[in-house]
Chains A and B, each alone.
Chain A
């Protein structure tokens, strides 16, 4: 038997001086921030601020024009997405990117791909090591992920048949199966009702505390951002306009201006929570 993996150290992410443009459009300008090990960092900002573009740079879809991205001591700015996955980076997508035809279980198992070793020949024969690896994976997925996220009842269902909220949960499950050290969530509760949002917030906190994973999260739901994050980064027109602990950012007049065109923090909070409810 291969040794069971020990607890993984949460990763430290450092983004520095990142710039990205699409043709003439500057999507990101000199963006710098950090995700400290074992914390939840929230990335907020109005629609079109560049949050998803920033995620795409970090996960390797977009090549930034300038700047670098470091995971712990390692510069990953130029590595391919699969190499980043191997280094411990996992993400979910704003508009769910599950494999619709596959079952929940297969989707989750896919998450482990990069950490498995079965080669083509072993796979065709399904003998010895290949079989053992699949069984170990199944056992671990059942015990650690399916139980934890309370998705026992849907494990054999095709993803396409699930509600939006459950699909988001399955996407989190798949990301967790990747054994990440940094988990990136793009709007994990968008489109969810109150109850589903609260469940998701609890899962995210548990992931941080019990699994010891650093989390970077884009979210419009301000209630949730203020509740669970340790650090908030505010992006507007591709620039970081404020960052700090939630309470500080909440009172920042620049942030209010970005959202409202006015400098009134109380009005901001009202509008922000309205966005959260509507989404």
Chain B
């Protein structure tokens, strides 16, 4: 049984983790993440890295769409910008790994600002269409700016090196990708404790009265676009070092939909949402693959028959969550936490 403690000071109240239980869980999570690479096999480590990359990008999209209310279908294109930036910097300039990833974020942010310009005039579906248009323009650039992007055949990326160590395996990259993603999530959580995060939410909820409160709309909308694409760029940069080849088809338009689905399924406008959503969207198809394999001996020829079923089940799961938990997976977690928090008292 636990009883809510009276908050004596604002300092405690303004913290990210307000109870000892939360702190304890966070330590457990950090330990699990630190020890996981020593337990998981190569395949699961590969998936863990992929989830982390997707969490980073989804967290960025959530800042823009979930918190600022600007719907974007350009996240994959911004990731591609980051991935190409890494490929170019690494291949042509030979600058260091972490610097390249940071630069990938900054370059994607600059492109994001350009794409965000229409957001002052258009909203909702119209803005979504504008970001789709931008994605296609970027795709055109990727295929045709051969000297930088290598055209249709793309560019190869050498393995990342950090302090003289080559990071080629998922095992090695895990120790960079997961901490970077964790820092990015922490950054997002911090942001929404400050005036800038509040301004984003204000713009989402009522942009007219946000202006009266002294929030310049264009500046903040562009800032949100910049930040969101920075996250995408860093994620794309990590992706490039992870897969080591970037082509125009590395980030198809469907990937943008993947990210939008991830933040919606996870829970728009929550920090936990994109983490859960990206994990769900990345892992569930894999888990369904296991189920199919497992059914193999029971139903001969299951592989061929069941793989379309797998896609259908995945789609149905997404629809299920949209219908029964429109607030997303984060809301389910919140309810469970609340239950245990008040347990054994009835809620």
Question: B-contacting residues of A (Cβ < 8 Å)?
Answer: 59-61, 80-82, 85-86, 90-91, 93, 97-102, 106, 109-116, 118-120, 122-126, 130, 133-135, 138-139, 142, 174, 178
A110 touches B213 (CB 8 A): yes
Q: Which residues of A contact B227 (CB under 8 A)?
A: 120
B195 touches A113 (CB 8 A): yes
| Bound: A25/B213 CA distance, A | 29
Q: Which residues of B contact A142 (CB under 8 A)?
A: 10
A82 touches B216 (CB 8 A): yes
Q: Which residues of A contact B201 (CB under 8 A)?
A: 99, 101-102, 106
- 9 extra interface residue pairs, beta carbon distance < 8 Å, beyond A82-B211, A120-B227, A138-B14: A97-B206, A99-B201, A99-B209, A113-B213, A114-B215, A115-B214, A120-B223, A123-B197, A124-B187
A97 vs chain B, min Cβ distance (A):
4
| Bound: A86/B198 CA distance, A | 17
A111 touches B213 (CB 8 A): yes
Q: Which residues of B contact A93 (CB under 8 A)?
A: 209
B196 touches A178 (CB 8 A): no
The 8 closest A-B pairs by CB, nearest first: A114-B214, A85-B214, A126-B190, A97-B209, A124-B187, A123-B194, A81-B211, A99-B205
Q: Which residues of A contact B202 (CB under 8 A)?
A: 99, 110, 113
| Bound: A125/B191 CA distance, A | 8
Q: Which residues of A contact B209 (CB under 8 A)?
A: 93, 97-99
A112 touches B212 (CB 8 A): no
Residue among A86, A133, A138 making CB contact with B214, cutoff 8 Å: A86
A80 touches B199 (CB 8 A): no
B205 touches A85 (CB 8 A): no
A82 touches B187 (CB 8 A): no
Query: Does B162 sit at the interface, judged by CB under 8 A?
Result: no
Q: Can you show 21 pairs from A to B with CB atoms below 8 A apart?
A: A60-B211, A61-B208, A82-B214, A99-B206, A100-B205, A101-B269, A109-B195, A109-B198, A110-B199, A113-B202, A113-B214, A116-B195, A118-B195, A120-B196, A123-B196, A134-B14, A134-B195, A135-B14, A138-B14, A178-B213, A178-B214
| Bound: A116/B198 CA distance, A | 12
Query: Does B11 sit at the interface, judged by CB under 8 A?
Result: yes
Q: Which residues of B contact A174 (CB under 8 A)?
A: 213
Q: Which residues of B contact A125 (CB under 8 A)?
A: 187, 190
Q: Which residues of B contact A133 (CB under 8 A)?
A: 194-195
Chain B 278-298, CB-CB to A under 8 Å as 1, else 0, gives: 000000000000000000000
Query: Does B193 sit at the interface, judged by CB under 8 A?
Result: yes
Within 8 A of A (CB), among B217-262: 223, 227
B62 vs chain A, min Cβ distance (A):
15
B10 touches A138 (CB 8 A): yes
A218 vs chain B, min Cβ distance (A):
15
B106 vs chain A, min Cβ distance (A):
12
B194 touches A85 (CB 8 A): no
A82 touches B215 (CB 8 A): yes
A3 vs chain B, min Cβ distance (A):
19
By beta carbon, the residue of chain A nearest B224 is A120
Best-surrounded residue of A61, A123, A130, A174 (most CB of chain B within 10 A): A123
Best-surrounded residue of B209, B212, B215 (most CB of chain A within 10 A): B212
Q: Which residues of A contact B213 (CB under 8 A)?
A: 85, 110-111, 113-114, 174, 178
| Bound: A204/B195 CA distance, A | 27
A271 vs chain B, min Cβ distance (A):
33
Q: Which residues of A contact B191 (CB under 8 A)?
A: 123-124
Within 8 A of A (CB), among B101-116: none
By beta carbon, the residue of chain B nearest A119 is B196
A102 touches B195 (CB 8 A): no
| Bound: A106/B190 CA distance, A | 14
A134 touches B194 (CB 8 A): yes
Chain B 45-78, CB-CB to A under 8 Å as 1, else 0, gives: 0000000000000000000000000000000000
B51 vs chain A, min Cβ distance (A):
22
Q: Which residues of B contact A82 (CB under 8 A)?
A: 211, 214-216
A106 touches B212 (CB 8 A): no
By beta carbon, the residue of chain B nearest A124 is B187
Q: Which residues of B contact A110 (CB under 8 A)?
A: 195, 198-199, 202, 213
Q: Which residues of B contact A116 (CB under 8 A)?
A: 195
